[in-house]
Structure 1
């Protein structure tokens, strides 16, 4: 295996650019880090360009990278740490080519639509929960944080490899669902909203959740079948968007 020891190496410089959204967009690639994420990428046949292993982890992680049909490069601890956004890098990374899912969504199972969700941890948790709940896919509406942000990817725990995640305009997805007679549920606290407990379990629906501070855009809420709220018995004003969406996903889709 080739060993790279200089932080000035051309490939290392290109990998460092993937720590920024601009760099990811330009190269159409992103970085993942951790044994679990790299294993998931291999298992679900992500388009891996190269696997990067820290020199002192070569033997420990052999069982992972030996499963891949990808180049494996060994780097120093200094280089590995420079590619990590965390204080304790785990010593194995991969460069993945960005590809949108080959097939679009059918609506045969529930779809989660996200309107300007800003926190990367929330985004990752929403994708992971949609995967766990058995949803068909997730639509990232305009203004939503970058899917390939390192914190987002850590929070997904690899679920973005399991479930279709598409970028799209929610205003255009609503007619798609409506034409298939699929109900669309927004989340709100306005006078139109009803308790989620009044909704019967369903196999097909769209669920829209929104920005942490402002909720779902008013222009979107006007186009939904119903807008739902979760009754709160305690003193908290509201729930975290990922928690609220999790309750709704598991309750409505059974």
Structure 2
């Protein structure tokens, strides 16, 4: 395993790595992103995808999980100091491993008859990643994000998704008005103020779910062009976290189909 030690934060490779971690526009321009942690890297490799470069620290170099990655990755491993790694890392406590990969390109078109999750201006990376993880677990393979939602392929969303991204078909920066009326299946939108219970819906066949912004909820357009449902809350809370609400909806769908 060839290794190269990098010491300066001004090294071009470190600057490139930092840009990919911190800047969405830079990721788009370069067509790359960063996987952080050995779990994500191993999940990526299990999908037979390529890693372009790996950054770690001297202490982590001989760890068994890192060795599992380098067994499948044939390139140079860049070794950086602990303090520099902590400065770059978004995790803080995981085994030191940052991998640069190409953003997946898809020629696939939206399937307007398939189970779909639509995220409308959902901004928190943790919520977005959790929703992708729950959707994948529930068998939803198609994810649509409108402009204003957190970037699906940012390191923070990837971290929260725990590898769910790698089995999904994703579409970003979509205008809701361009797609919503094309769906040939029921489209549901969650609303804490609607009286129609989630549990009264027939979810036995393919459907689409729209989940909205953490503070404002879904748009008026979404409410006007979809079936609004609410999750009964006997405890009287005003609303649920969007990731929890979405997960409840997905697994009520799974329950009915089982």
The counterpart of 2:61, out of the listed 44, 53, 58, is 58
- Give the whole-Å Cα distance in 2 for the aligned partners of 1:165 and 1:2: 35
Contact 2:4 2:77 in 1 (8 A): no
Bigger shift: residues 200-209 or 99-108: 99-108
- Give the whole-Å Cα distance in 2 for the aligned partners of 1:105 and 1:47: 25
Secondary structure at the residue paired with 2:234?
coil
- What is the CA-CA distance between 1:189 and the residue it aligns to? 3.7
Contact 2:4 2:76 in 1 (8 A): no
- Give the whole-Å Cα distance in 2 for the aligned partners of 1:73 and 1:30: 17
- Corresponding residue of 1:25: 28
- What is the CA-CA distance between 1:108 and the residue it aligns to? 4.9
The two structures, once aligned, show a CA RMSD in angstroms of 1.9
The TM-score with structure 2 as length reference comes to: 0.89
- Corresponding residue of 1:209: 211
Q: What 5-or-longer segments of structure 1 have no aligned partner?
A: none
Q: How many residues align?
A: 249
Contact 2:192 2:239 in 1 (8 A): no
Contact 1:100 1:166 in 2 (8 A): no
Change (3 A) 1:62 1:245: same
The counterpart of 1:49, out of the listed 31, 48, 52, is 52
- Corresponding residue of 1:244: 245
- Give the whole-Å Cα distance in 1 for the aligned partners of 2:145 and 2:12: 33
- Give the whole-Å Cα distance in 1 for the aligned partners of 2:192 and 2:81: 53
The counterpart of 1:130, out of the listed 125, 129, 135, is 135
The counterpart of 2:176, out of the listed 159, 170, 173, is 170
The TM-score with structure 1 as length reference comes to: 0.90
Bigger shift: residues 194-203 or 97-106: 97-106
Contact 2:188 2:229 in 1 (8 A): yes
Change (3 A) 1:218 1:69: farther
Change (3 A) 1:124 1:236: same
Contact 2:120 2:210 in 1 (8 A): yes
Contact 2:119 2:146 in 1 (8 A): yes
- Give the whole-Å Cα distance in 1 for the aligned partners of 2:45 and 2:35: 12
- What is the CA-CA distance between 1:69 and the residue it aligns to? 4.9
Q: What 5-or-longer segments of structure 2 have no aligned partner?
A: none
Contact 2:192 2:238 in 1 (8 A): no
Q: How does 1:1-254 map to 2 (within 5 A)?
A: 1-7=2-8, 8-20=10-22, 21-60=24-63, 61-167=66-172, 168-177=174-183, 181-190=184-193, 194-224=196-226, 226-253=227-254, 254=257
